[in-house]
Structures are given as structure tokens and as C-alpha cells.
Structure 1
Amino acid sequence: MKSAKTNAGALAPLLPELSSQEAKAPRRASVLGAVFNVSTSIIGAGIMSIPATLKVLGVAPALGLIVIIALLVDVSVEFLLRFTHSGRSTTYAGLMAESYGWIGSVAVQICVMITNLGCLIIYLIIIGDVLSGNQPEGTGHLGVLQEWFGIHWWNLRAFALLIVVLFVLFPLALFRRLESLRFTSAISVLLAVVFVAISSVMAISALFEGKTQTPRLLPELNTQTSFFDLFTAVPVIVTAFTFHFNVHPIGSELGKPSDMISAVRVSLVLCAVIYSSIGIFGYLLFGDSIMPDILVNFDQNSGSAVGALLNDTVRLSYALHLMLVFPLLNFSLRANIDELLFPKRPLLATATPRFMSITVILLVFSYFAAIAIPNIWYFFQFMGSTSAVCLAFIFPAAITLRDVHGISTRKDRVIATIMIILAVVTSSVAISTNLYSLFLNKK
């Protein structure tokens, strides 16, 4: 009880009882701001891996999977908000605690830590690739700064990322309310649209010039192994749509749960369109040569000054987009770490020493991990097969099946059961396939 009381203050707007003073409080967030924050939480780094899933699955199955996962995410978020409104919990971990006790709460917190910390590291890796390049397995590519100015000590990966962390990410991470990030989130969504727009212009231009490859509508199934390889693309799309760790922080700043449901649905439609567009145009532009990180394809020699400018614009706009997404994921990561380690302490937003300590530790760890880790594809597959699928589907469905408040309908229970079965089967096959591929590569 004491823990729930401690964490309820900043999240009180999710509760049905509101005083007249609270109803007039100017701190209430807008639905539009929530749309931007939700959309930014969803898009993240997933946008640059979607084209690679079209290469694996084919265009038709990949687009169908994007729609299906978006619909399932909408259902799972509705489950979370409905049970939150019916109970006393105002956090995801607290909601699981109501159904499954301390073990459920800790399970959510650990999954949020794995997913969000992994994404923060991925963001820094991509930003480092854009600015300073990378050299995986001896074949490297230069970053934008190195292409423009040559290779110098100040544009090497470690120093460039350090500047980004100190002067961009750290100031943004100091905001204590998500509503304060609505403007940066709006810019982030706009940059994602710019990324898609430039990619589409380049793809259409290449199409008229006859330089594109015909995309495969269906996957090529030559061997038994290639069939199971299809499942490795599913976790990538699941990760791309996982934002459930921010459902409660964003929803708590709105006036009523129905506003959050509306914001989520608008965001899901927007993000599904963005994902589908970049998938089609990216695959059309680069064909089967597309890389797991499509930004690597954009550093190829375009053969013209205009093409080179467009390539650099795409890469820089996306790097800036990730810088603006970073504080949103850091927010929920920091909150869950604090809730796990200091459940009986005052609210994190009011405890400056603890707030600053956790913030600095997370940034330092993410920075050094991004310097040490060169590849992001394995991150996406691992998170999508484990922690992300738990947060997006398994936990919301488990809460619905437990039904501690007696509000689940028969339809809810059927959907929740199907959701868990699909999540467990696809994740198990994806993990097994990845381990088998890893074993073959070592052999």
C-alpha cells in the first residue's frame, strides 16, 4: 500500500476521482501532445529495419504483418488502460502486481529495462554510424562528418557520440514530465516523415530511370531453414511497435483514459503508414542488397551531387530523429529502475539527487555499450523475441485472463489466449532459428 501511495501522486489523472482544483490544473497534457509522444515512442529505430523485413518476408506478408501487429497492439493497450481504470495501480508494474503479485511487477520492470536500455544503445550505435561510420568485419563505411571533413580525432566515433550525449541527450533527459517533450516529439515525427518522403522521391526517380529491382511479393522458400527464417522478421516488427512502457506515463498526464485510447489509435495508423511506406520505397530503391540498417545503404556513392545531398539529408534527419526519441525511452526506463530499487522513496521527479544519479548512470552505460557493440540486428531480434513481446502482448493478455476485477468478456479471453499462443510460438521459433544460424556460422 505504501508503495502504491508513493507512486500515485504524479500519475493521479488516471484515477476516476479528481478534485475541482486538479480538473483546472494547467499541467494536464493535450491529446495532440500525446499523439506525438506515442508516435515518437513507436517509431524509434524500428523504421530503419522495416525494409529488411520486406526482403525476408516479401512485400505482401510484411505489409500484412505490420497491420496485424498494429491491430493486436491496439487491443493490448486497450486491455492495459481498462484494467488500470478499474483498479488502483497507475504504473504497468503496479498493474501486473495486482494480478500476479511481486513476481509480476518485477517481471515487467526487468522487461522494460532490457527493452529500453537495448533501444537506447541501438540509438547511439545508429547515431555513431551516421556521424562517424563503422567498420564491421573489416569492411567499413564513413560517417557524414568524415565524408565532409575527412577523418580527424574530433569526428571519430567515441568523441562524436560523447558530444551528442553531453550537449543533446543529457539536457533532454532532464525533463521530468513527458508533456514537456511534446514539441521535440513533434519534430521527431516530422523528421521521420522527411526520411520517408526523401526515400520515396529517390525510389520513384530510380524507378523511372530503370534502376530499381522488382520487389518480391512473396518470400522465397527454397529450404526448410529458409521457412523458419521468416519468423526472425516477426520480432523486428514487434519491437518496432512496442511502446507499452510509456502507456501509463503518457496516459497519466491526460484528462481521461478515452483520450489515451484515441491518441494511441491515431498514432498506430500514422506509424503503420510510415512503416509501410519506408518498407516499400526502401526495398524498391535497394532491392535484395538492402541492409538490416537501411542507413548503411544510403552512404553508397550516388553518382551525383544532388544524390549525395539527399543521402546525407536522410541520414542526418534520422540521426536527429533518434536523438529526440531517446529521452522518451529513457523516461520510462529511469522510472522503472527507481520503482524497482526504491519502491518506498518519494516520487522520483521530486528527488533531485536520485533523479540525477540514475540519469547519469544510464547515459554513461549506454554510451560505453554503444562504443563496444557494432551490430544492431541481433539486438532487435533478441528484444523482439523476449522482453518486447512480453510487454506488448503476453503481459496484457495475462492480466486480462487473470481478470482480478471481473471485467473481461468472453471475447477478451479468447483474444488474450490467441495473443499469448501466437507470441510464444513465433518467439520460440525465432529464438531457435537464430541460435541454429549462430551455431552454423561458428561451425
Structure 2
Amino acid sequence: MALNNNDYKNKENASCQAHSTLTLDMDNKVENYNPLIHRKVAHPTSTLGSFLNLLKSSLGSGVLAMPAAFKDTGIIPGCIGTILVGIIATHCIHILVQTSRDVCKETQEPSLSYSDTCEKVFKHGPKWTRPWSTFFKHFADFAMVAVCLGGTAVYVVFIASSLKDIFDHFYPEQEYDVKIYCAMLLIPLILIAQVRYLKFLVPFSVVANVCFMITFGITCFYTFTGVDNHMDTKLVTDVSQWPLFLSTAIFAMEGINVVMPVENEMSNPEHFLGCPGVLSTTMILVVLLYGAVGLFGYLKYGESVLGSITLNLPGDEPLALSAKFLIAVAVFFTYCLQMYAPMDIIWLRIKSRFKKKFYNIAQIALRTLSVVFTVVLAVAIPDLELLIGLVGAIFFSTLGLLIPVIIETVHKWERDLGLYFYVLWKNGLLVLFYLLVLFSGCYLSISKMVNKYS
């Protein structure tokens, strides 16, 4: 039946009103979507639990390397530098989490991982960035893999150095090079790296945490008692040595690889940012602790301080020897925990190349080759201090500094760069800081290796 003119106009008006209402509802939905209240986590973590998890990720074996970092700068730049690196690391974590939340709000997703955040930022950024979304996701994933594998290579040297000290004490007539101990660790590390499921790694984590805390307590006992200001300690060293401090401090403090899982699984994620919040409280404590250990460790042992302060503990006292043994055990069990993330990332990308019946063999081969790589790297660079500097300069700075700066810049490029484009200026300075750490840290580490081993 045909409609008359008035009927047509009434229906058209009704249609326009319905469209306007729908558009308004959609706009309200996008504008008011809060990803924090839409998260459904099976086993959410309390605010205190999140604080402890983040503290554990930042408070690892790297704290034992801080006295050696102070040796590269001297007392005054070391104290200032620790605060500076702490502020920069905290800021980069903050902009990563905030950008992830902003993207979640726009895409109406409750949470995103580190690499998914990178992908979504590029996909919903300026047109010229969208073709790069998949590439940047892979870049973030492989940066995570590099951080974990580089860190585990440091662990190998860490364990080998501790074992060498112990065996040199009990068998002084048979002193072996630290490279031999690195090579001896190959089979045990291959075996422990075959553990594939996180629930089976929990006992290892418990043992590692207990051993580390006992070792840390013993180390603090030796460090903070009987401090004698050595004549060879310096207030300020040559500026050319400072880059090693920066790369070591970044290696020690950066726990950005676990930030997104911790924040995504909080029962009250609104408590993560802000002041006081989980992030700010954790990093203030980390900076104070790292600064104290670095300062007093350097005052205690002076220019003779080694890549891990545990290596400076007396070699003929049972308490000190027990600390060296316990830290070796702690780092050994942490090795398989650190291997979990990179193996998962790599396996997800290569599993489609294998038939299902070969999955088990392929996983064993992947994990074995990864362990061989870390041991070969450790044998090639058996100096703990220089290896930490190199890994920190290349891998930890890329994951912890460069990528967060890039994703914030891309995300805000067409949205809000702030008054006088302050976001660009600020991030430009951070990129310059990253390049300083990268190139000067690498140059100094490699040149010292060449001089030492040539």
C-alpha cells in the first residue's frame, strides 16, 4: 500500500530520531567504557599481592650488581644516577600502562598484553603507522625474548662465578676458569628448561625466593657492618665510565616485562597508578634499596668490588660460602622461570610449521637450542660486570625505554601532544637518553672486553 506524504514524513522523522538515538548511545558507550570494571580475572591479585609481585620482578640479582655500578661513576653521580634511572624507569612503565588503558577504552577491550598494546596503538594511530602494526607487535615480542635470553646468559655467568669461588676454596689446587663452569652448567640447564607449565615452576619460584632473601640478608650483614671507607673510593670518576653505570642500573631496575600481567590481573587495578599507588610505592622502595646497597657496597669494597657483591664476600667463612651457594641455587631455579616467557612467544610462532605428533620433539629442540645459545654467550663473555652492561644497554633499554616512548608518541600523535607539543619534546629527550645508553654502553662494554681478552 502506498504511503501518503504525511505518513512518509512521519516515518522519516521517526527513522532519523532512532538513528540519532542509536548514534548517541554508541557515542556514550565508547566515551563511558571503563576497561577496569569490565575485566573478568579468574584469580585476581590483591593490591598487596600486586605490590609484592612487582617488587620481586624489580628486586632480583641485579641489586647485587649495584656496587659495581657505583664504581663506574663514584659516590655522588651514583646516588644521583640511581634516582634518575628510577624516575625514568617509573615514567616509562607509567606511560605504557596508561597508553594501554587508553587503547582499551577506545577498542572496548578489558585488557591488553604488552605486545597487543603495541599492535593496537599502531593500528588505531595515524594512517602512516597502521601498516606497521603487525611488525611492531612482533618487534615487541622479540624484544621481550631478547631481554629474557640476555638475562639468562647473565644468570649462567652468575652461577658459574659463584661455583668457581666455592670450589676454589675447597679445592685450591684445581682452579678452573669460569668458562669451564659455564660449560659444565649446560646439561643441568637443558634439563631444567624442559619444564613447560607454569604450575610446575611454582616450587622452583618458592625455593629461588627463599634462597635469594637469605643471601640478600647475609650480603647486607657483610655490607652494612664494619664499613670502612676505602682510600680508593671516589666521589666522581671519569665521565667516560658513566655509561656502564646507566646500563647496569637499567638492567637491575627494569621489570617492565611483567608489568602488564601484574596490572591486568589486579582485583583493584585503579590502585596501580597514581600516588600513592602500587607502581610509585614499589619504585620508591626499589630506588632506596638499590641506592643503599650500591653506596655501602662500594664504600665497603672500593675499586675491588666485583660484578656481584656476593663474589666479594670472604671465601673462608661458612656464612659467606653459604650465601654464594644459595645465590647460585636461587639463580639456577630462576633460570627456568625466565625461560618460560621467551619459549612461549617463540613456540606460538613456529608451532604451525610442525605436525602435531612432532610437537614434543620440536619443543625439546627449541628449549635445548635456547639454552645452548645462553651458555655460548656466557662462555664468550664470562665477565659478569661487562655482560650485565652489554645486556642492559641493548635489550633492557629497548624494552623498557624505547618501546614505551614510541607507543605513547604514536598514540597521542593525532589526539593530544600537550601544550607546545611537550609530549614530543619529552619523548625526544628520552629517545636521546636511550641512544646514549645504547651506543655508549655497548662501546664501553665491547672495548673493555677486547682489552681484557685480547
Shorter-chain TM-score tier: 0.7 to 0.9
Question: How many aligned residue pairs are there?
Answer: 392
Conserved? CA contact 2:190–2:367, under 8 Å: no
Conserved? CA contact 2:74–2:235, under 8 Å: yes
2:21 aligns to what?
Answer: none
Counterpart check, 1:398 vs 2:413: no
1:386 aligns to what?
Answer: 394
Counterpart check, 1:197 vs 2:217: yes
Q: Indicate which of 297, 318, 331 corresponds to 2:327.
A: 318
How far did 1:57 drift?
0.7
Summarize the alignment of residues 42-441 of structure 1 with structure 2, pairs less than 5 Å apart: 42-88=58-104, 90-97=112-119, 98-99=121-122, 100=129, 101-131=133-163, 133=164, 141-143=165-167, 146=170, 162-163=187-188, 166=191, 170-171=194-195, 174-175=197-198, 181=202, 188=208, 191-207=211-227, 213-214=230-231, 216=233, 218-220=235-237, 226-261=238-273, 262-298=277-313, 300-302=314-316, 308-338=317-347, 340-341=349-350, 359=367, 362-363=370-371, 365-366=373-374, 370=378, 374-403=382-411, 406=415, 409-410=418-419, 412-437=423-448
1:10 aligns to what?
Answer: none
2:382 aligns to what SS in structure 1? coil
Q: If the length of structure 2 is used for normalisation, what is the TM-score?
A: 0.72
Distance 1:72 1:146 in 2: 44
How far did 1:184 drift?
6.4
1:41 aligns to what?
Answer: 57
Q: Amino acid of the residue matched to residue 239 of structure 2?
A: F
Conserved? CA contact 2:156–2:182, under 8 Å: no
Conserved? CA contact 1:165–1:363, under 8 Å: yes
Distance 1:165 1:297 in 2: 29
Conserved? CA contact 1:162–1:367, under 8 Å: no
Conserved? CA contact 1:199–1:282, under 8 Å: no
Conserved? CA contact 1:130–1:144, under 8 Å: no
How far did 1:237 drift?
0.7
Pair 1:362–1:90, CA change in 2 (3 A): farther
Distance 1:165 1:378 in 2: 25
Q: Amino acid of the residue matched to residue 175 of structure 1?
A: L
How far did 1:112 drift?
1.6
Distance 2:91 2:337 in 1: 22
How far did 1:311 drift?
1.1
Summarize the alignment of residues 25-36 of structure 1 with structure 2, pairs less than 5 Å apart: 25=42, 27-36=43-52
How far did 1:204 drift?
4.5
Q: Identity over the aligned pairs, expressed in percent?
A: 15
Q: Amino acid of the residue matched to residue 130 of structure 1?
A: S
Distance 2:427 2:225 in 1: 45
Distance 1:399 1:255 in 2: 26
Q: If the length of structure 1 is used for normalisation, what is the TM-score?
A: 0.74
Pair 1:80–1:205, CA change in 2 (3 A): closer
Pair 1:142–1:157, CA change in 2 (3 A): farther
Distance 2:416 2:169 in 1: 56
2:134 aligns to what SS in structure 1? helix
Conserved? CA contact 1:44–1:240, under 8 Å: yes
Conserved? CA contact 1:129–1:143, under 8 Å: no
> Cα deviation per residue 1:333-372 (whole Å; 9 max; x = unaligned)?
2343245546999xxxxx9898777556544554565566
Judge which range, 358-367 or 57-66, deviates more: 358-367
Conserved? CA contact 2:229–2:299, under 8 Å: yes
1:90 aligns to what SS in structure 2? coil
Unaligned runs of 5+ in 1: 1-13, 134-140, 221-225, 303-307, 346-350
Please say which structure displays the higher CA radius of gyration. Answer: 2
Distance 2:38 2:405 in 1: 29
Conserved? CA contact 1:57–1:219, under 8 Å: yes
1:386 aligns to what SS in structure 2? helix
Pair 1:439–1:121, CA change in 2 (3 A): closer
Conserved? CA contact 1:40–1:325, under 8 Å: no
How far did 1:58 drift?
0.9
> Cα deviation per residue 1:4-62 (whole Å; 9 max; x = unaligned)?
xxxxxxxxxx944637xx36x3x222333333332232233312221111112112211
> Cα deviation per residue 1:380-416 (whole Å; 9 max; x = unaligned)?
2222222211111111111111125836645544432
Conserved? CA contact 1:246–1:332, under 8 Å: no
> Cα deviation per residue 1:232-259 (whole Å; 9 max; x = unaligned)?
2211111112222222233332235434
Pair 1:343–1:254, CA change in 2 (3 A): farther
Q: Amino acid of the residue matched to residue 144 of structure 2?
A: V
Judge which range, 45-54 or 193-202, deviates more: 193-202
Distance 1:365 1:425 in 2: 28
Q: Amino acid of the residue matched to residue 233 of structure 1?
A: F
Unaligned runs of 5+ in 2: 1-33, 105-110, 123-128
